[in-house]
Chains A and B, each alone.
Chain A
Amino acid sequence: MSQAEILPVLKASVHDVRYFSALLRGVNFANRATVTVTEKGLLVVVEESRTLLGTAYIFSDVFDEFIYNPETPENKGSQPEQPTDEEELVSAFEIPLNNLLELLNIFGTAGGSVSAKHGRFKAWQKPGDELDDDDSDGGGEGEGDQQEGRANKKKSGQFFGSGSERKTGMRLTYIGPGYPLTVIVAEDATGPTTTCEIATFDAESHLELPFDSEQMVLKIILKSSWLRDALSELDPSCDKLTFIGNPASEPDAGLHPVKQRRIRMQDAPNFRIEATGTFGNTEMDYPNDRDVLESFECETPVKFSYRFSHIARTIRALQTSVKTSLRIDNEGLLSLQFLMPTPVSRMHQGKGTSNFIEFRCLALEEDA
């Protein structure tokens, strides 16, 4: 095979990394992430203690340019496995995810959670704008660290609200197994660019937690802000989190609507989050109000517990997401799907697919 003919497995670029890094940040809770490249986009999978699985589905329309050349069997060389499925070929590798995120934020402008309206951010950037581009590197670094830690209080719609800021652009290149992931990050064409090669590892098989929709016992769709507020109000020292669902008892349709509502309210709360810890316990009750729970499906009373530290990993993803779908199956496997706001895409004019992050968590064994 001729050297000149090798096409990189993946070539992707985006002019503003904020959306991409927000998605990655949502699953950044473990050292290593497995990145799987498919025709449709990227899958970033992170796992913790064989119990929690976080997956970010990043569709190709997040990128301005996304070229995937699946590895052909000859190029693969010594790889024992070969993708034999008919549907699509995938390539997978592992990288340390936090390195990638820090790199994306090297100029300090990849923290999509803070828009120009945030006074402090703006004050920092202004001097940076006046300075030479060489200085923005050092200044951006410190601010970037602060941004990473800062919670996103703004609505995610403000991602693209600020046009006057410097945006960090990025180009990703992955030649193939055995080669590092090359990332070129720049603010604009004239400014300094950073080229980084992140070592890739062979993808190990990760935990599979299949969710059977047939066996679903509880399904709730609610605005992410409710769940985010609930989790942030809980004492961080609590160790167990329990989700309880009670079926909505439908009062007689013949009754006066006000009376119906009162009956509905007086019943056991439809959805309850309980947290126990050394301090005591906390219960948060959510009624079956359309403003709160947009959709609620529960046939029988459901109660499952999870380790609080695992559920707390989802807070990052919650901050940027718009809606959350919470599903529990009959064995207690929890599936949380966080819907991200739709990106403005150059490829499909304004018709980008919504990206989402999914977390799956195994339930704690209840002592009978």
Chain B
Amino acid sequence: MQATFDAHALKPFTRALTCLSRYGEELCIYASSETLSLFCTNSSKSAYCRFKFNKEFFSRYRVGDPAKGTNDSAMGQLMAKSLLSILKHKTVESTLERCEISIVEGVSSEESTDETQDGLESKLIVRLHCRHSVIKTHKLLLLGSTSLIAPGVPDSSNETLLRIGPRAIRDIIEQFSLPKGAKSDPQLIWTFAEAEVAVRSLESSIDTRGKAQLATELFISADEFDLYNLYEAPTTIAFHLREFNATIAFAELCGLGLDIRFTDPAEPLFIDVEGDNFETLFVISTSHPPNSSAQVRLAPSGPKKRLREDTPADSTRFRKPTKVVQSTTDLGQDTTPARIAASPLSMPLPQVAPTSVSQRSNFPQDQDVMTTSRLSQQKPPLFLPTPSQLSDSDKAVLRESGLGIKHTSVEGCNEMFETHGLEMNCKSIELRAAWDG
């Protein structure tokens, strides 16, 4: 893979890298014939960040070698900080004329006799051409990408869509005097009502230093948002700020607005930022704010894991953030909408990695409602467009299968659950039915 970009494309690229390095430590690069993706997950897998650069972003972009018939994708993993420190240097920013990034695969049998080929490991080569013909070549070793990860797909039927400019959201966050530091991981609780939004800082009796924290609550009108499509009011979600701040900082530097989508509390939050020849996706896990009575949980699979998080016994106990990503083997195909499972059951599944596999595969045989046996293969490459982007024919397929969300009845759901002896909170089904109604 070889990509070249010039000095003015360096800025968004380094901004992306800065944001990625704030999300997680290891950065994955995936180059396909049309796009270059950089993505990473944080250590607890509760936040995911992906930047996709179209090939128009680069002045030159080539993947694979058509003559040799190598597969047209390249992939590797490296430390985000190393790449960032190379590109974000002050001298680089002022003297760079163009930058070439290439991935050289390790296995080279018939490759050229270039002395730079190592032959053992894959390398990411960053070649900076600076003023006065000074050339700086950095060769970074690529770690073998062992497990690919991708986020779960949101179910958009009950999704709330908000659009807000970065300055406005930054003003909101700034009001909170939150402890800064590596050890603190502040959370904010957002309550979305019809016409206003209440943002509250999470109260905990003591913070890390044993001092009582200041609790802040602020109300903003929904007019601050450029778009405010709330699915159901009121909705309350809580999520951690560390990654959210990185996203806001990126959006602000690039001057782009944020599209925030979320469904239920405890389903992850999706943020889209689209720019000039690139698009980004951020997924942040959310949780129920403690002391809240709502216990809406769809946990058809992996009940053990979920129930543990459910117990509100100790409301001030730190809640483990839910995973937003899962392992996947197929990373490139983001254009197969038919693979989406539109059922409410499978929607939360992607967040619980291994246990979901076996459970889900039970359904097709018994119920014959799942669209295809493809699901049982458990290979949903989850760079999938949201269901709202499904083509009409695919929508028809889903509707036919009888499991469109809007057509599920309470009885049908309960039946399903009882058959499999799964614990279900019937209250939640009733609520869902109310939405469908």
- B132 beta carbon closer than 8 Å to chain A: yes
Q: With A and B bound together, what is the CA distance between A291 and B133 in angstroms?
A: 10
Nearest CB on A from B175, distance (A): 27
Q: Are B135 and A289 in contact, with the CB atoms below 8 A?
A: no
Q: Are A281 and B139 in contact, with the CB atoms below 8 A?
A: yes
- B134 beta carbon closer than 8 Å to chain A: yes
User: Which residue of chain B has its CB nearest to the CB of A275?
Assistant: B138
- B316 beta carbon closer than 8 Å to chain A: no
- A48 beta carbon closer than 8 Å to chain B: no
Which of B91, B124, B136, B141 is in CB contact (< 8 Å) with A282? B136
Q: Are B82 and A235 in contact, with the CB atoms below 8 A?
A: yes
**In the complex, which residues of chain B have a beta carbon less than 8 angstroms from the beta carbon of A279?**
79, 82, 140-141
- A285 beta carbon closer than 8 Å to chain B: yes
Q: Are B134 and A280 in contact, with the CB atoms below 8 A?
A: no
Q: With A and B bound together, what is the CA distance between A286 and B79 in angstroms?
A: 28
- B169 beta carbon closer than 8 Å to chain A: no
- A284 beta carbon closer than 8 Å to chain B: yes
Q: Are A280 and B133 in contact, with the CB atoms below 8 A?
A: no
**In the complex, which residues of chain A have a beta carbon less than 8 angstroms from the beta carbon of B132?**
287, 289, 291-292
Q: With A and B bound together, what is the CA distance between A230 and B92 in angstroms?
A: 10
Q: Are B133 and A289 in contact, with the CB atoms below 8 A?
A: yes
Most buried by A among B86, B91, B135, B136: B136
Chain B, 51-79, CB within 8 A of any chain A CB: 79
- Number of chain B interface residues as a range: 10 to 19
Q: With A and B bound together, what is the CA distance between A70 and B132 in angstroms?
A: 51
Q: With A and B bound together, what is the CA distance between A279 and B138 in angstroms?
A: 10
**In the complex, which residues of chain A have a beta carbon less than 8 angstroms from the beta carbon of B140?**
279-280
Number of A interface residues, CB 8 Å? Answer: 20
Nearest CB on B from A130, distance (A): 31
Nearest CB on A from B352, distance (A): 35
Nearest CB on A from B286, distance (A): 36
Q: With A and B bound together, what is the CA distance between A235 and B86 in angstroms?
A: 8
Q: Are B79 and A283 in contact, with the CB atoms below 8 A?
A: no
Q: Are A269 and B135 in contact, with the CB atoms below 8 A?
A: yes
**Dominant SS among interface residues on chain A:** mixed
Chain B, 88-102, CB within 8 A of any chain A CB: 89, 91-92
Q: A233-B89, A279-B141, A281-B139 are in contact. Are A287 and B133 (CB under 8 A)?
A: yes
- B240 beta carbon closer than 8 Å to chain A: no
Chain A, 243-276, CB within 8 A of any chain B CB: 265, 269
Nearest CB on B from A301, distance (A): 14
Q: A233-B86, A235-B82, A235-B85 are in contact. Are A283 and B136 (CB under 8 A)?
A: yes
Which of A232, A281, A282, A292 is in CB contact (< 8 Å) with B134? A292
Q: With A and B bound together, what is the CA distance between A226 and B132 in angstroms?
A: 11
- B50 beta carbon closer than 8 Å to chain A: no
Which of B85, B123, B134 is in CB contact (< 8 Å) with A287? B134
Q: Are B136 and A284 in contact, with the CB atoms below 8 A?
A: yes
Q: Are B123 and A284 in contact, with the CB atoms below 8 A?
A: no
- A239 beta carbon closer than 8 Å to chain B: no
Chain B, 76-129, CB within 8 A of any chain A CB: 79, 82, 85-86, 89, 91-92, 123-124
**In the complex, which residues of chain B have a beta carbon less than 8 angstroms from the beta carbon of A235?**
82, 85
User: Which residue of chain B has its CB nearest to the CB of A282?
Assistant: B138
**In the complex, which residues of chain A have a beta carbon less than 8 angstroms from the beta carbon of B86?**
233
Q: A279-B79, A279-B82 are in contact. Are A233 and B139 (CB under 8 A)?
A: no
**In the complex, which residues of chain A have a beta carbon less than 8 angstroms from the beta carbon of B79?**
279
Q: With A and B bound together, what is the CA distance between A232 and B85 in angstroms?
A: 10
User: Which residue of chain A has its CB nearest to the CB of B135?
Assistant: A285
Q: With A and B bound together, what is the CA distance between A229 and B124 in angstroms?
A: 22
Q: With A and B bound together, what is the CA distance between A120 and B404 in angstroms?
A: 62
Q: With A and B bound together, what is the CA distance between A239 and B423 in angstroms?
A: 58
- B216 beta carbon closer than 8 Å to chain A: no
Q: Are A229 and B85 in contact, with the CB atoms below 8 A?
A: no
Q: Are A280 and B137 in contact, with the CB atoms below 8 A?
A: no
**In the complex, which residues of chain B have a beta carbon less than 8 angstroms from the beta carbon of A284?**
134-137
Task: Type the 1/0 row for B4-41, where 1 means its CB is closer than 8 Å to any CB of A.
Answer: 00000000000000000000000000000000000000
Q: With A and B bound together, what is the CA distance between A286 and B86 in angstroms?
A: 18
Task: Type the 1/0 row for A277-315, where 1 means its CB is closer than 8 Å to any CB of B.
Answer: 001111111110101100000000000000000000000
Q: Are A233 and B92 in contact, with the CB atoms below 8 A?
A: yes
Q: With A and B bound together, what is the CA distance between A229 and B139 in angstroms?
A: 18
Q: With A and B bound together, what is the CA distance between A235 and B124 in angstroms?
A: 15
Q: A233-B89, A235-B85 are in contact. Are A283 and B134 (CB under 8 A)?
A: no
Q: With A and B bound together, what is the CA distance between A147 and B141 in angstroms?
A: 36
Q: Are B139 and A282 in contact, with the CB atoms below 8 A?
A: yes
Q: With A and B bound together, what is the CA distance between A282 and B141 in angstroms?
A: 11
Q: With A and B bound together, what is the CA distance between A126 and B368 in angstroms?
A: 79
Q: With A and B bound together, what is the CA distance between A226 and B137 in angstroms?
A: 16
Q: With A and B bound together, what is the CA distance between A269 and B136 in angstroms?
A: 11
Q: Are B141 and A286 in contact, with the CB atoms below 8 A?
A: no
**In the complex, which residues of chain A have a beta carbon less than 8 angstroms from the beta carbon of B123?**
280
User: Which residue of chain A has its CB nearest to the CB of B136?
Assistant: A284
Q: With A and B bound together, what is the CA distance between A282 and B137 in angstroms?
A: 5
User: Which residue of chain A has its CB nearest to the CB of B79?
Assistant: A279
Residues of B whose CB lies within 8 Å of any CB of A are 79, 82, 85-86, 89, 91-92, 123-124, 132-141
The 3 closest A-B pairs by CB, nearest first: A229-B91, A280-B140, A285-B135
Given contacts A233-B89, A265-B133, A284-B134, 8 further A-B pairs with CB under 8 A are A233-B86, A235-B82, A280-B138, A280-B141, A283-B138, A286-B134, A287-B134, A292-B134
Pairs A–B under 8 Å by Cβ, sample size 13: A229-B91, A233-B89, A233-B92, A269-B135, A279-B140, A279-B141, A280-B123, A280-B124, A280-B139, A282-B139, A283-B139, A287-B132, A287-B133
